[in-house]
Structure 1
Amino acid sequence: MMKKLRFFLLALAGLVASAAAGQAVETGTAPWDTLPRARVSDALEYPLMYGWAKQLLATDSCRKAGYRPDRFNIDTRYAVLVAPDGDVRRIVIEENKACPGVDLVVGLALQGLSRTHKFHRTGEDHPRWYAGRITFSGSPQSQ
């Protein structure tokens, strides 16, 4: 099980590295509540995120933190540095120390939105920081 999870996390990390060419993705802090809201023109791929999260939440560290792969609620804040043309230059994700990997799932979802140009143009003449929040949950009823 642990070997399988390590491989899964390495595969996810590889996706982040390949998708993030020229784009910095990191965990950290930001003035989440004072930044203007990020405007995104499409929804996240929740079924894909749900599958990734379900595997991660089965780990011992996540279970000790109270997460369960069949019943969870993830709420993560993020900040994005958006160029005037809508390209995302940087992504900062609120770190989840209790369950390592949750921030990776959120990062992959945000990169997907960025890669498909779903963040709106800013109308500014320089890159600007925006904040948002990703919330998703899983339960036996959502399967």
Structure 2
Amino acid sequence: MTGHQHDGVVLAVRPALGNAELNDLFGASWPEHRETDFRPVLEHSLAWVGARRDDRLTGYVNVAWDGGAHAFVLDVTVHPDERGRGLGRRLVARAADLAREAGAAWLHVDYEPHLASFYAGCGFRPTAAGLLRLA
């Protein structure tokens, strides 16, 4: 895998990722996670970034977009063993670069209140938004 390396962690754009390793990462990172088939998500993404230390997936972010001016950061995930070292911010910064390179003018993110300082540190500013639960 080629990509940007820092502190022994390599970031790669659109790396081959399987359901097993994504579910392992999400399961370790999100207590409510349920087994997911990530293939449909990746097939519709502008890009995604994977972070690896050695051969272990330690971080992930997905970049969705509308094909025009708006891109969306989804599922920023860092393994608990890797937190507090700036990996999440590196993932978001790389996602922003990819969205910008694709021609997006805006990068959106939804987050829970306890993550506000993380996203502020990534350069996001709060805005009013709406949410409609469909399922």
Ranked by relative contact order (alpha carbons within 8 Å, sequence separation 6 or more), the top structure is: 1
Larger radius of gyration: 1
Q: Which has the higher strand share?
A: 2
State the TM-score, normalizing by the size of structure 1: 0.32
State the TM-score, normalizing by the size of structure 2: 0.33
